[in-house]
Structure 1
Amino acid sequence: MHQDKLESFKKVLLAKKDAILEHNAQHQSNVEQMRNTKGDEADYATMSVENTLEGSIFQKHHQELEYIEVALEKIENGVYGVCEMCGEPIAHGRLKAKPYAKYCIVCREIVEKDLKDKV
């Protein structure tokens, strides 16, 4: 992959990382603010539902951050954009849609099928 494309993907990955970290920091601030707020049972119920939803989002973000870090390491090591299963290049369109993709589309389908079969 050309250096200019690698730099472009690196910028996208770093922007995604920054956005997730900003969201998580805002979430932490909101949680602290809720803890310091006095309210009635309805307020606490609302806070509980919001906290559960935010916790789920936080968990998804944590996983996405791990994928982003791996992709950034791959850029540094010169192996970004190569499928971890078959070793073939991952299509540019797939990387644009999911810049931290580990697999080409064919191998991704195999992985998803294997996961479904195990469940």
Structure 2
Amino acid sequence: MQQVELENFKKILLEKRQAILDNNLEHRKSMENMHDLSFDEADQVAMHMKNTLDSSIFTRHNTELEYIDSALNKIEQGVYGICEMCDEPIAKERLKAKPHAKYCIVCREIVEKNSKD
């Protein structure tokens, strides 16, 4: 992969990382503001459901941040865009769609099939 392409992917990954961090910060601020308010029972149930959803979102964001950090580390190590399973290059179209992809399409399908079984 050419250096220009690597720099472009690095920029995309850093922007995506910052967007997730900004989003998490906004959610935390919103949650903190909600704790200061008084709620009736129905509001408390709704807040509990929102907190459960927010927790799920934070978990997903943290996982995505780990993948992004791993991809950024791979760029620094010179191994970005190489499938972790078969050591073949990941298609640039796949990296454009998911710049923190760990696997090529074929290996991703294998991993997903094995995780369902």
Name whichever of 24-33 and 40-49 sits farther off.
Answer: 40-49
TM-score w.r.t. the length of structure 1 is 0.94
What is the letter of the counterpart of residue 25 of structure 1? Answer: L
Name whichever of 65-74 and 28-37 sits farther off.
Answer: 28-37
1:78 counterpart residue number: 78
Runs of 4+ more than 2 Å apart: none
Write out aligned runs for 1:83-94 (5 A).
83-94=83-94
What is the letter of the counterpart of residue 20 of structure 2? Answer: I
Write out aligned runs for 1:1-119 (5 A).
1-117=1-117
What is the letter of the counterpart of residue 81 of structure 1? Answer: G
* Offset, 1:109: 1.0
Over the matched positions of the two proteins, sequence identity in percent amounts to 62
Q: Following the alignment from structure 1 to structure 2, what is the Cα–Cα distance between the partners of residues 112 and 31?
A: 34
What is the letter of the counterpart of residue 33 of structure 1? Answer: N
Q: Following the alignment from structure 2 to structure 1, what is the Cα–Cα distance between the partners of residues 45 and 86?
A: 49
* Offset, 1:39: 2.1
* Offset, 1:85: 1.0
State the aligned residue count.
117
Structure 2 residue runs without a partner (length 5+): none
TM-score w.r.t. the length of structure 2 is 0.96
Name whichever of 86-95 and 34-43 sits farther off.
Answer: 34-43
Q: Following the alignment from structure 2 to structure 1, what is the Cα–Cα distance between the partners of residues 12 and 56?
A: 24
What is the letter of the counterpart of residue 116 of structure 2? Answer: K
* Offset, 1:48: 1.2
Q: Following the alignment from structure 2 to structure 1, what is the Cα–Cα distance between the partners of residues 53 and 112?
A: 25
Q: Following the alignment from structure 1 to structure 2, what is the Cα–Cα distance between the partners of residues 116 and 105?
A: 17
* Offset, 1:38: 1.3
Structure 1 residue runs without a partner (length 5+): none
RMSD: 0.9
